[in-house]
Amino acid sequence: MSVSISEEAPEQAPFVYKGDIITHIKKASEIGYEAVELHIRHPENIDADAVRHACDTYKVEVSSIGTGLGYGMDRLSLSDSNPAVRRQAVERLKGHISLASKWNCLVIIGLMKGQIKDCGSREEYEKNVMEALQECVDYAESRQVLIVLEAINRYESDVLNTLQETTAFIREFDTDYLKLHIDTFHMNMEENSIPASMLEVRDYIGHVHAADNNRLYPGNGFFDFKTFLDTLKVIDYQGDIALECTGLPRPDEAALKARSYLYSIL
C-alpha cells in the first residue's frame, strides 16, 4: 500500500502529505506503508539519489509518480492547440519517466492528458494526444517504465471519463508500456457497476488510487471498498493501491486510519 506525497501542491490538492519529501517518506514508513507515491511538478528539481537513499533507509519503495501538477499549476497538456505547449508537456513527462527509471516505478498521466476544451474538437484532441503520447510511450519503452493513463470524472475532464472509454483509447497503442489507471473517487461518479467495469478491463489495469466518495480517506464515506478490493482479488491485481485523498482532518490521522481500514477488509 502506498501513500501520496507532494512537495509543492496547492492547499486544495488531494494528497495526504504536503511538504518535504524525505520527511514524509519517514512518516509513511513509521505508520506502516510499504511505498510512497510522489506527485512532482518539476522532475529536474528532485534529488533522485536522496529519495532513493531515504527509501532504502526507511524500507519503503516509490510506487508511482503523479504528474498532474504540470497541468494544474503550469497548464501543460498533451492536447493543447499550441504545438509549443504540447512540446513542453512531452518534455516534462519525459523528465518524469527518466526519474521513474531510477526508482523502478510507474508514471501516471491524468490531467496532463488534457481536455477537448484545450484544443477545440474531439478529432483534434485525439490527433494531438495520440501523437504526443506515442512519443512518451516510445521513451518509456526505451527505459522500461510503465505509463498509466487515468480515467477522470466528467466534472474534472471533458474526455476519457470511464474505464471503457479510456481503455479503448489505450488499445490504439501497440505497447505493453501503457496501461489503465483506475481511481475509486472517479469511478464512483462514472461507472454504472464498478465491479462489472473492472472485470471488463481487467487485463489493462496497471495502477489504483483509493479515496472515499467525498475524497476523504477510505472508511470516512460510503464507497463500497469491500466489493472493490474483492474485485481486485478476482482479477489478480498485483500492483500497489495508492492513497490519493485529502489529508483531513490531519495527514497522519488520514494515513493511519486509511491503512488500518483497508487492511481490515483485505
| pLDDT at residue 209, rounded to an integer | 98
Looking at the DSSP assignment, which residues form a beta bridge with residue 35?
2, 61
Q: Are 213 and 222 in contact (CB under 8 A)?
A: yes
Q: How far apart are CA 171 and CA 201, in angstroms?
A: 11
SS3 241: strand
Q: Are 209 and 181 in contact (CB under 8 A)?
A: yes
Nearest to 220 by CA among 255, 181, 182, 183: 255
Phi-psi region of 118 (alpha: psi -120 to 50; beta: other; left: phi over 0): alpha
Q: How far apart are CA 248 and CA 245, in angstroms?
A: 9
Nearest to 145 by CA among 97, 213, 81, 203: 97
CA 157 to chain centre: 15
Q: Are 73 and 60 in contact (CB under 8 A)?
A: no
| pLDDT at residue 266, rounded to an integer | 86
| pLDDT at residue 213, rounded to an integer | 97
SS3 127: helix
Nearest 10 degrees: CA dihedral of 98, 18, 26, 103? -10
Write out the chain's pLDDT in tens, 266 residues.
999 999 989 988 999 999 999 999 999 999 999 999 999 999 999 999 999 999 999 999 999 999 999 999 999 999 999 999 999 999 999 999 999 999 999 999 999 999 999 999 999 999 999 999 999 999 999 999 999 999 999 999 999 999 999 999 999 999 999 999 999 999 999 999 999 999 999 999 999 999 999 999 999 999 999 999 999 999 999 999 999 999 999 999 999 999 999 999 98
DSSP state, residue 248? -
The amino acid sitting at 86 is R
Nearest 10 degrees: CA dihedral of 186, 191, 197, 201? -50
Cα separation values, 76 from 85, 148, 192, Å:
6, 18, 31
Q: What is the DSSP string of 187-211?
A: HHHH-S-HHHHHHHTGGGEEEEEE-
Determine whether 130 is exposed, middle or buried from the number of CB atoms within 10 Å of its CB (0-12, 13-18, 19+): middle
Domains of the chain: 2-265 (3.20.20.150)
